Structures are given as structure tokens and as C-alpha cells.
Structure 1
Amino acid sequence: MTVLVTGGAGYIGSHMVWALLDAGERVVVLDRLSTGFDWAVAPAAKLIVGDVGDLDLVAAIIDQHEIETIFHFAGSVVVPESVTDPLGYYLNNTANTRTLIEAAVRGGVRHFIFSSTAAVYGATGSDPVREDAPLRPETPYGMSKLMSEMMLRDAAAAHGFTYTSLRYFNVSGADPLGRTGQSTPGATHLLKVACETALGKRPAISVFGTDYPTRDGTCIRDFIHVADLVEAHLLALKRLRAGGSNLVANCGYGRGFSVLELIDSVRRMSGMDFPVVYSGRREGDMPTVIADPSLAMRELGWKPQHDDLDRIVSDALAWEARLARHDLRKSIAHRRGPEQSPVRRKAS
């Protein structure tokens, strides 16, 4: 049996690939490398550069590699960008997911595990949100993911495959073994920006909104370590293979930290102070978003192992320092010539 990971050269996808390989799975990665990197893909996985919206390509991959399960991470994820480019998000997140599901149905794929988001809930209030809360996405990003969830539900009912949709809260951190992390230049993830600022890669970090109805006026988020998130995916695969039914579940810790609290942790763990610029609210940002993860814990047997903000920050800082060394080596190699480049290039 072989597993296909779409977006496997990106942040969460690359962690998933390593976790699957660690578990003894055969892995094929499909990624167009628009925001991911070929060097971020674990060497034991097969990388195919292409688009999940290419029906013929995906169908061929499923057939040639006898794909049993698809982990679908490919997509666009910047909430404010979705407000200014809604059609782009409906194309990349919704229309392309529809194509991928069609290819899965045609190819007889048995299981589908989908990367969804807490943005499907919209404004959630201050209490942890459960899966049966009203679904009222307030951005094209959230709506694009909700539409994908609905297609997946209806296709599974019609065609007999099983699926799990995991609604992520704020994914953060990096592989504790230092093999991969958030590497996208110009990334908007709060922790990524804070770590880059602490290490001098950015002149300052912006805080958008200080007048929210929260304990310090800044947004509160449920930060979940990426290693715990991919473990939930592995457990979802195990459950589906054992005959488990379709499942939609939250992935978070059930408690939140504010933007300023995360910045304070980065300062503390890095030993560096850095400038903070206070700006107005961004469109699409919710005051508080915290998960109720009890369903995932009960159905998947999921027990987070990295539920500590300082641990999340430490792993992210370690990866950022490693990435800085990697970028420096790449820059030196580029000046010397491509034949001496230390960066692995892998394509099919």
C-alpha cells in the first residue's frame, strides 16, 4: 500500500511525509513547489512535481503507484489574502480538491485525510469550540475549506470510500529532530515571523489589533505543535484502516495564548529583544479561537506530547537557526556554481 501526500514539500506536508516514513509507509509526494521546496521532502519519498488540479496526472499517479490513501495538504492558507483574492482561493482550495476527489474515486482510493481549518467556524466566542458548532466562515479561506469538506462528505457517501477531516487551529513549531520546519519566505505565520525577527531576519514584528475583548487586547489562538498534529493524522489513518467511519475532528489543545504572550515566549526562549509595531485590526481575524479537542482524543486515541508553548517556540527557533545556516550555504554554493551546491534536488 502506498500513501499520496499532496503539498508534501510544504510546512505541514513535509512533516507528514517524515512521520509516514518513520511509520514504515511508502510515500509519494505531489507538489507544484509554489511555496514548498524539493529539499524539504524526505529522501525516501518519491517527489512528483505537478498540480493536484491536473486530473490526468493525479489519475496516473494513483494507478501507477497503487495509492491506497491520500493526505491532502495542498492549498492556499493566508486568511487576509483570501479576502483580496477569493477566486484564487476557490480555485486552488475548492476546485482543485474536487478534481483530486474525482481522481480518487476513479482510482479506487480507499481513504482520504483532509487538511481543514478552524476558519470554518467563523466567530467562535471565548469558549472552546466543538465540531457541532455553527459553521459560519467569515473569509473566503474558511469557506473554501468548508466547501471542500462538503464535497468530501457527499462523494464518500456516493462512492464508498472513508475519510477524516481534521480542522486545524494554529499549527506552529518544527520537527523536534530538526529535519523540517516552516521554510516559506515571507510566511505570515505568527511564530515564524516572531522567530525571524528575534534572529534579525526582519526589522520588527507587527501586532494587528490591540483592542480585542481579550485579556491583553490581542488575539488569542490555540497553538498546536506540528508534531502533535501529524501524529493525529497517523492515528486517523490507523483508525480508517481498521474500519473506522468518517470523522470530522478538531486538532488543538483546548487552551489559548495571546499574540503578546507568544511574542514574550519568543523573547524569553531566544534571549533576544526585538521591536514590535502595533497596527490596526486585519480583516478576517477573530478575537479568540480555541479548540475543544475531546472528539479527536476519544476517537483517535490522540494524546498530545508537545503541549507547551515554550517547547513549541524552542523547536521553531531551532529550525529558524538551521534554516539560516542552510540559506547561507546555498548562497555560497550559488556563487561557486551549481555543481558544488549542497542542496539536494529531487524530481521525477
Structure 2
Amino acid sequence: MILITGGLGFIGTHTARALLDLGESCVLVQRRQAGALPAALAAEHGSRLFVEQADLADRDRLRAIGDRHQVTGIVHLAGSVPWPPGPGDPVEAARAALDSLLNVVRAAADLKVARVVTASTIGVYAGAETGAGPLKEDLPLPMTTGHVIPAFKKIGELLTDHLAAATGVDLVNARISAVWGPLGRPASVFFAAPQLVHAAARRAAPDLSALYVPAHADHGTDLIYAKDCGRALALLHQAPRLNHRTYNVASGRLTTNADITAALAPAMRIDLPPGRASQAPADVWLDITRLRQDTGYAPAYDTARAVADYLAWLGAGNAR
């Protein structure tokens, strides 16, 4: 039985499906009141899928869920980041974020689970001396960061590296690139792909006002389709042996806005300003050699297939 924190969320749902397809059973843990199982998952895998409500600050509750379901592994996708910022004390918010990670590791040690995969982010590479080509996991990272999410993910990586040696639990960091696809948010502040696809599905002009940097045709990043992301995390958790503590979970290629609009063209033509905005950061994509070698992972969705699948999902009446 694999426990997934944030299991009813965007990436969690796709990860659960992938683990279930590999023959595992899953218990999905959410902080909000546990509701019904996702309909598609329940129909296909209801006898091997469970939902529990727990605040990760409640270590006893987390341990009790693990005992009751005989948990053998954990995929930790819930935030462990004080984001979005709330009205309370920021010091207490930081403490709660770190406690959630520490409680997951404590539960893993108590339950003697085989492995914990924790979600990190492509954002940890921001500010690194990247040079040309895909970014590898051994690239030195700066101690500074421009956003709270990569800041706390860096802290989490350092903590898990220390605690893996101290506790004997196999703790693995997954640096996840930009994820898009079914169940994701219709709009991102970091990349334009969701807005573009939702606009094409509605036959309406895209609203790109939420983006930190105005979208231009040649902007790009490493986009991993949600179904590929879930499968990569499942394979990472289930691999008999891992040779590294940290893995890039990504497509391994650069996808530009022009690639997305070209794939959307049969449904709707969307024109973006050519070139790049002057304030746009450098385009980055991730090296997935480690992930391929240790898990056998290969992306199943190129840009055209991902766009077609996403459009079909939205066209079937799904809101996101």
C-alpha cells in the first residue's frame, strides 16, 4: 500500500493512477475533508484505492493511517511550503511547512517503509550557472532564490539528504518540471500552455494576464504532461534499486509556446508576439538520463499527442 500525500490533487491523482496500473494499492491523504474517490479511478480501481483526511502536522494521525492500511511506501506531494502566503505569522507558517516534511519522514521511519519520494521542483535551478544544454542533477545550485517555493524545496532536499543517512529511510527527491494536462489549473503564472489549451477548447482568445512574463512565441521550458509525470513518479517509487538521491522528473526537452500553438492550430489559431520578451528568463530543460537508466521511464506524450489528449479531455465536459 502506497500512501500519497496530496493524493487528491493534480499530480497526486495521476500518480495514484500510475501506481494502480502497476498493481499497487493506494491511500490518498488530503488535509481537507476527504470526499468521494475520483470517479474514473473509483470505477477502475475502487477495491485498491482509499481516501483519508489528515493534517500532516498531526503525526499521530499520519502514523495511525499508515498502521491501518499497512503502508509500505510514501509519495509526498503535499506542499511542505508556506505558499500561498496567509495572514498569519510567517515564522509559524515556515515551521508548519517544515514540520509536515519532518512528520512524513518520522512516519516513514516508524512504519519502516521501503521508500519515500518527495516532490521538489525545476525552480531549484533558477540562478544556477546553467550554460547550454539540459540541466543535470549534479549542477551546483545557488543558496539564494527568488521565490518561496524553490527556497523551501532546496531546504527539503538538504533535509532529506541528511535524514536518509541518519534514519536509514530511502528518501528520494523528484525535481519536477512544469506539469500540464487534465485536472491542472486552467491558468499558470509561470507558463502559458494551460491558458492556450483552454482557450482553444472554448474557441476564445486566451487570457494570459496572470503570467509573470508576457507570453511570446519563442518562450519555452521543460513541459511534462501530467500522465507522464504520474507514471515517472510511480516508476521512481517502484524501481527495485535507485543509484541516486535526486532525479529530474521531466520530458527532457524544450517546448516553446510556438510548439503549443502549432499543435493547437487544427482546433484554433492563436497568434503570439514573435521572439522573446526582454525580461524573460533563459529557457531551461532537464536531463532525464538518471530517470531513464534507473526506472526505464520514457515520455509517452510529445507535444502533439499531449495537446490532442488535453483537448479531448476538456471537450468531454471536464472543467480542468
Instruction: Name the TM tier (shorter chain).
Output: 0.7 to 0.9
8 Å contact kept, 1:98–1:148: no
| Residue type of the alignment partner of 1:142 | P
How far apart in 1 are the matches of 2:59 and 2:101?
11
8 Å contact kept, 2:261–2:269: no
The 10-residue stretch of structure 1 (200-209 or 142-151) with the greater mean CA deviation from structure 2:
200-209
Task: Name the counterpart of 2:193.
Answer: 191
| Residue type of the alignment partner of 2:38 | A
How far apart in 1 are the matches of 2:224 and 2:152?
22
How far apart in 1 are the matches of 2:294 and 2:75?
19
Q: 1:166 aligns with which of 165, 170, 174?
A: 174
CA distance 1:194–1:85, shift in 2 (3 Å): farther
CA distance 1:148–1:25, shift in 2 (3 Å): same
Q: 1:290 aligns with which of 285, 290, 300?
A: 285
Tell me, which stretches of 5 or more residues in structure 2 are unaligned? none
Task: Name the counterpart of 2:148.
Answer: 140
8 Å contact kept, 2:4–2:29: yes
Task: Name the counterpart of 1:339.
Answer: none
8 Å contact kept, 2:81–2:94: no
Task: Name the counterpart of 1:222.
Answer: 222
Task: Name the counterpart of 2:158.
Answer: 150
**Partner SS for 1:182:** coil
Task: Name the counterpart of 1:236.
Answer: 236
Q: Tell me by how many angstroms 1:70 deviates.
A: 0.2
Q: Tell me by how many angstroms 1:78 deviates.
A: 11
Is 2:105 aligned against 1:101?
A: yes
Q: Tell me by how many angstroms 1:140 deviates.
A: 1.2
**Partner SS for 2:202:** coil
8 Å contact kept, 2:27–2:50: yes
Corresponding residue pairs, total: 305
8 Å contact kept, 2:228–2:300: yes
Is 2:3 aligned against 1:4?
A: yes
The within-5 A match list for 1:40-119 is 40=38, 42-43=41-42, 44=46, 45-75=49-79, 87=90, 90=94, 93-119=97-123
| Residue type of the alignment partner of 1:250 | N
Deviation string 1:298-320 (CA, Å, 9 cap, x unpaired) is: 222222222x1111111121222
Q: Tell me by how many angstroms 1:14 deviates.
A: 0.3
Is 2:123 aligned against 1:127?
A: no
Task: Name the counterpart of 2:251.
Answer: 253
How far apart in 2 are the matches of 1:85 and 1:286?
32
How far apart in 2 are the matches of 1:52 and 1:4?
12
State the Cα RMSD in Å.
3.6
8 Å contact kept, 1:205–1:277: no
Is 2:268 aligned against 1:272?
A: yes
Q: Select the structure with the greater relative contact order (CA < 8 A; seq sep ≥ 6).
A: 1
Deviation string 1:177-207 (CA, Å, 9 cap, x unpaired) is: xxxx225466656322222222339753316
Q: 1:299 aligns with which of 289, 294, 301?
A: 294
How far apart in 2 are the matches of 1:61 and 1:86?
30
CA distance 1:129–1:210, shift in 2 (3 Å): same
How far apart in 2 are the matches of 1:313 and 1:293?
22
| Residue type of the alignment partner of 2:5 | T
CA distance 1:160–1:12, shift in 2 (3 Å): same
CA distance 1:185–1:296, shift in 2 (3 Å): closer
8 Å contact kept, 2:233–2:249: no
8 Å contact kept, 1:130–1:291: yes
**Partner SS for 1:128:** coil
| Residue type of the alignment partner of 1:105 | A
How far apart in 1 are the matches of 2:165 and 2:59?
21
CA distance 1:260–1:95, shift in 2 (3 Å): farther
Tell me, which stretches of 5 or more residues in structure 1 are unaligned? 174-180, 328-348
CA distance 1:287–1:77, shift in 2 (3 Å): farther
**Partner SS for 1:71:** strand
8 Å contact kept, 1:125–1:288: no
8 Å contact kept, 2:222–2:253: yes
Residue identity over aligned pairs, in percent, reads 24
